[in-house]
């Protein structure tokens, strides 16, 4: 299976990358404001949460806006990929019923798009740090392995959701609710470590990969602190395992996808 | 002559486990698995450069067989060997990413046909010219009319031909002018020495004028294989009889 995977990556890499770039390009070309939305969307939500937490709930926290913005960006990348993978095969039917494409390529293309948007949006994080007087240290570079692990975990989970989504029509609706739950358990606009009672905060931060990655990114960017490598390694391994499971499923059953949808 | 396609005892089954609603998980109702065997044991070889016609009534498994040869799905049983030839399927109404402009779809379709970016770039202008789409090429495919859609799809396959071409009832796309142009182009392509072609058509005229041999599929089985005129005479007589019975 791995050999097939490597061969497929080699043969279809150009297609996947071109498809992702074309998607990005078409979004930019659509209207002038369009690519600004990649930044505007998390930025506006940042204002909403900052207003609610700081003004309505009257909780003061230094640089809260940056804190929220990092969380929102990571979440958006994960969330949009998983949601779209539930109906990915059905939506790509036009292409899939004409030629053979390894199905994971479609998902990888989606992740490429989502990650690119996230990286663009992240430049704003660094700008905001500059204005808020947060000195970025070298440990900011830990964002890179964190992003890599995020991509692997998203890829693995996305493959599994994509496979089930072929057979289960209302998976999209189910995922919406489930992801909302995960959203509130990821500490996007609150601090899990200090805001959730022990031992639940520990559990959440270790067993929810998104909570862990968001938390670690904040530490790396805002406090120049290294992530917990044990947990990072654990999620890398889990991500790879999810991917292997997803790949073996999609390889075994992709033959039937076009017949079902 | 070497054979370009070897098809051995191919069976293709559709399992109509339509994607199920979630409710069924809880009610525990057994998912009905209707099996429908669309192709029941097809065996034939196509020689390099040969043009094969595939005829039969609707639902006899012609398109399914073509899609299997194109690699969209693999057969449940049996073998399809293309001997490493590149293959493309030309069929009505499929094949594009609708939210992307036609220009990008030319590249994407070309890449999936196994062409390199440079190759596509080289012939890009030719494709656009042949498709007669003009400025629409930069608009998303979702804004195209069905005629424009087919024209683009047809142009890509014609200007970027593969070793093996599978043509599923598309000899009649677009307006009359385009149809004439495309038929001529296709004839040129098909007649090229090394090109191997399988044509599905309900038009006897087309089949008789183009094909070297004809395969008649009936309810997924191969009813007759042989010289074009020989098979077509029997087939047409059969169809005429059927029409009379139904009238």
How confident is residue A12, by pLDDT bands cut at 50, 70 and 90? very high
Q: Which residues contact A7 (CB under 8 A, 6 or more apart)?
A: none
Q: What is the predicted pLDDT for the residue at A96?
A: 86
* pLDDT (average), residues A71-86: 94
> Which B-chain residues 96-135 have CB contacts (< 8 A) with chain A?
96-101, 104, 107-108, 111-113, 117
Residue B2 has pLDDT above 70, yes or no: yes
CA distance B69 to B39: 12
How confident is residue B207, by pLDDT bands cut at 50, 70 and 90? confident
Q: Give the count of beta carbons closer than 10 Å to the beta carbon of residue A10.
A: 9
Q: Name the token pair of A224.
A: 């120049």
CA distance A156 to A95: 23
Q: What is the predicted pLDDT for the residue at A92?
A: 87
* pLDDT (average), residues B121-125: 94
Helices then strands, counting H and E runs in chain B, come out as 8, 9
Q: What is the predicted pLDDT for the residue at B1?
A: 61
- Please tell me which of A137-146, A196-205, B152-161 the model is most confident about, judged by mean pLDDT: A137-146
How confident is residue B206, by pLDDT bands cut at 50, 70 and 90? confident
Q: What is the predicted pLDDT for the residue at B107?
A: 93
**For residue A50, how far is the Cα from the chain centroid?**
22
Percentage, residues of chain A above pLDDT 70: 98
A42, A72 contact by CB (below 8 A): yes
Residue A72 has pLDDT above 90, yes or no: yes
**For residue B21, how far is the Cα from the chain centroid?**
32
Q: Name the token pair of A153.
A: 């975990």
Residue A52 has pLDDT above 70, yes or no: yes
Residue A190 has pLDDT above 60, yes or no: yes
CA distance B244 to chain A (A): 34
Residue A162 has pLDDT above 80, yes or no: yes
Q: What is the predicted pLDDT for the residue at A254?
A: 85
The more confident residue out of B64 and B171 is: B64
Residue A113 has pLDDT above 90, yes or no: yes
Closest to A112 measured CA to CA, from A15, A183, A182, A204: A15
Domain-wise residue ranges, chain A: 2-260
CA distances (Å), origin B51, targets A17, A43, B228: 36, 60, 10
Q: Give the count of beta carbons closer than 10 Å to the beta carbon of residue B107.
A: 22
Tell me which chain B residues have a C-beta less than 8 angstroms from the C-beta of A98. Answer: 70, 72, 89, 91, 94-95, 112
For chain A, say whether B70 makes contact (Cβ under 8 Å).
yes
Q: What is the predicted pLDDT for the residue at A160?
A: 96
Q: What is the predicted pLDDT for the residue at B22?
A: 63
Instruction: Determine the angle formed by the axes of helices A209-222 and A64-86, rounding to 10 degrees.
Output: 150
CA distances (Å), origin A181, targets A32, A162, A256, B6: 34, 20, 32, 53
User: Which one of A22, A29, A30, A86 makes the best mutation probe of the B interface by having the most chain B beta carbons within 10 Å?
Assistant: A22
The more confident residue out of A81 and A173 is: A81
Q: What is the predicted pLDDT for the residue at A36?
A: 81
B119 beta partners: none
* pLDDT (average), residues B101-106: 92
Q: What is the predicted pLDDT for the residue at B28?
A: 56
CA distance A166 to B78: 26
CA distance A151 to B16: 34
Q: Which residues contact A10 (CB under 8 A, 6 or more apart)?
A: none
Q: What is the predicted pLDDT for the residue at A195?
A: 81
Mean pLDDT, chain B, rounded, equals: 85
């Amino acid at each position: 299976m791995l050999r097939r995977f490597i061969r497929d990556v080699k043969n279809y890499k150009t297609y996947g990358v071109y498809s992702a770039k074309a998607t990005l390009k078409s979004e930019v070309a659509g209207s002038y404001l369009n690519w600004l939305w990649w930044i505007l969307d998390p930025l506006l939500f940042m204002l909403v949460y900052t207003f609610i937490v700081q003004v309505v709930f009257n909780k003061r926290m230094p640089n809260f806006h940056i804190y929220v913005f990092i969380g929102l960006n990571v979440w958006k990348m994960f969330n949009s990929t998983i949601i779209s993978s539930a109906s990915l095969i059905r939506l790509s039917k036009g292409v899939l019923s004409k030629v053979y494409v390894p199905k994971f390529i479609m998902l990888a293309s989606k992740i490429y798009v989502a990650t690119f948007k996230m990286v663009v949006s992240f430049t704003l994080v660094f700008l905001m740090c500059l204005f808020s007087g947060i000195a970025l240290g070298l440990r900011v570079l830990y964002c890179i392995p964190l992003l890599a692990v995020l991509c692997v975990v998203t890829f693995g989970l996305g493959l599994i959701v994509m496979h089930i989504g072929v057979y289960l029509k209302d998976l999209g609706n189910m995922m919406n609710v489930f992801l909302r739950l995960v959203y509130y358990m990821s500490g996007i606009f609150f601090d899990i470590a200090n805001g959730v009672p022990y031992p639940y905060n520990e559990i959440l931060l270790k067993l929810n990969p998104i909570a862990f990655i968001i938390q670690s990114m904040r530490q790396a960017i805002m406090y120049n602190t290294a992530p917990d490598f044990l947990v990072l390694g654990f999620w890398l391994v889990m991500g790879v395992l999810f991917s292997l499971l997803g790949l073996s499923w999609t390889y075994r059953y992709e033959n039937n996808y076009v017949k079902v949808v | 002559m070497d054979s370009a396609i070897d098809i051995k005892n191919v069976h293709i089954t559709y399992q109509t486990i339509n994607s199920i609603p979630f409710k069924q998980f809880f009610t525990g109702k057994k998912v009905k698995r209707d099996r429908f065997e669309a192709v029941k044991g097809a065996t034939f070889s196509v020689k390099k450069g040969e043009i094969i016609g595939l005829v039969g009534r609707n639902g006899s498994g012609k398109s399914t067989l073509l899609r299997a040869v194109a690699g969209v799905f693999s057969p449940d049983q049996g073998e399809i060997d293309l001997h490493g030839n590149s293959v493309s399927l030309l069929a009505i109404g499929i094949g594009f990413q609708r939210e992307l402009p036609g220009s990008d779809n030319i590249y994407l379709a070309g890449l999936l046909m196994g062409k390199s970016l440079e190759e596509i770039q080289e012939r890009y202008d030719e494709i656009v010219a042949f498709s007669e789409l003009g400025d629409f090429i930069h608009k998303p495919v979702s804004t195209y009319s069905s005629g424009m859609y087919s024209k683009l799809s047809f142009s890509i396959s014609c200007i970027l031909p593969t070793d093996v071409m599978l043509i599923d009832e598309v000899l009649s796309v677009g307006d009359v002018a385009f149809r004439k142009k495309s038929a001529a182009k296709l004839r040129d392509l098909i007649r090229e020495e090394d090109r191997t072609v399988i044509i599905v058509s309900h038009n006897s005229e087309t089949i008789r004028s183009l094909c070297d041999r004809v395969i008649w599929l009936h309810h997924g089985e191969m009813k007759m294989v042989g010289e074009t005129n020989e098979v077509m005479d029997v087939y047409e007589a059969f169809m005429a009889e059927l029409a009379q019975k139904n009238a």
